[in-house]
Amino acid sequence: MNLDITLIWGGLLAFVVLAYIIFDGYDLGVGILIPLMRSDQERAQMLSSVRLWDANETWLVLGGGGLFAVFPLAYSIIFPALYLPLIGMLLSLVIRGVVSEFRWQNKQSAMIWDSLFFVGSFLAACFQGMILGALVQGIQVVDHAYAGGPLDWLTPFSVMTGIALALGYSLLGATWLVLKTDGELQNKAFSLIKVLGSLMVLMVGVVSLWTPFLKQDYLSRWFAWPQAIYVLPVPLLLAAAIFILFRAVNRRNTWVPFVATISIFLLSYIGLLISIFPYVVPDTITLWEAAAPLSSQKFLLPGTLILVPIILIYTTYAHWVFLKEEKA
């Protein structure tokens, strides 16, 4: 049997991006919810519940490095097209990192640090969503090079996806707070899930209806017969995950909302991959066109196949140990 090494690499990088979204998503979401809590004690509880952000960023570094090493043509097109939002995202993450180190050393200025943590979290989420939206809507390419301007990424669709991802992270953050806190803060988190869940459903609907009409190829994949029958399980499972989320909140279940929200992210991500596959630069450059020479892919693959499970194991173990600690 002949293995398609390039396809394996595509799957690995897709998994790395998904891992980052899940592990760092709740972290950013908790930061976005900070201004909704009035007391310093509640905000301190929230910050104490997200102390693993350093480990979460590992996936981001691995994704960027993997794209550079294995799909250099895609890297050379995507990064120039998205330099500004990428720089904005990284600066926002740096702000969060500074706050997480200094907030506890200078409690007299806690309100200022908390505000900065919110700004960093919100902007990082919005920039990530806009990067995703800009990629899906397409990048102007001529002769295998980026041919657009520095602000082409800033469109109504990318702004909408930026807001949608910030809302999604907020929902994930609220479900995390339900897991990691109790008392009044947990009650507030349950209430927030109902509001944020409703807004998230609205945004998922808007994105799902808007995306197929960006390109004829997207439209055919979701609505042309008989392809539509093969992708129908995705929206059906998505509807089931949303139903399970709201039912779990009404039953005051602490674990199920977090798992259901991760399922919503997973199914939305699968829907995105269905729309753009096999392109890494949508509608322009396929995985195989963007890939490095096969010899390079073969050389890098064994190490990556060992490294990714190790990162996944230590990240999961760290979260498991952290979850077993006393609630914040």
> What does the pLDDT look like over 23-62, one tens digit per residue?
889 999 999 999 998 888 888 888 888 866 666 778 888 8
DSSP state of 213: G
The model scores a pTM over 0.75:
yes
User: What is the count of structural domains for the chain?
Assistant: 1
Q: Is the pLDDT of residue 2 over 70?
A: no
18: pLDDT confidence band, cut at 50, 70 and 90?
Answer: very high
Q: What is the pLDDT of residue 169?
A: 96
End-to-end CA distance of the chain: 52
Residue 192 contacts residue 33 (beta carbons within 8 Å) = yes
Q: Do the beta carbons of residue 283 and residue 138 sit within 8 Å?
A: yes
Check pLDDT > 60 for residue 182.
Answer: yes
- Output the pLDDT for position 283: 85
Better-scored residue on pLDDT, 196 or 318: 196
Mean pLDDT value across the chain: 90
Flag whether pLDDT at 88 surpasses 90.
yes
Q: At 86, list the tokens.
A: 């990428």
Between the alpha carbon of residue 41 and those of residues 31, 44, 47, 191, the distances in Å are 15, 5, 10, 19
What residues pair up with 142 in beta bridges, in sequence order?
145
Average pLDDT, stretch 189-199? 95
pLDDT for position 181: 87
Number of other CB atoms surrounding residue 62 within 10 Å = 20
- The arithmetic mean of pLDDT across residues 222-227, rounded, is 86
CB 297 within 8 A of CB 6: yes
SS3 assignment for 149-204: CCCCCCCHHHHHHHHHHHHHHHHHHHHHHHHHCCHHHHHHHHHHHHHHHHHHHHHH
Q: Where is pLDDT greater, at 101 or 117?
A: 117
SS3 content of the chain, % helix, strand, coil (to 5): 80, 5, 15
CATH of the domain at 152: 1.20.1630.10
Nearest to 10 by CA among 70, 76, 78: 70
CA distance 266 to 174: 18
User: Whole domain around residue 139: which residue ranges?
Assistant: 5-326
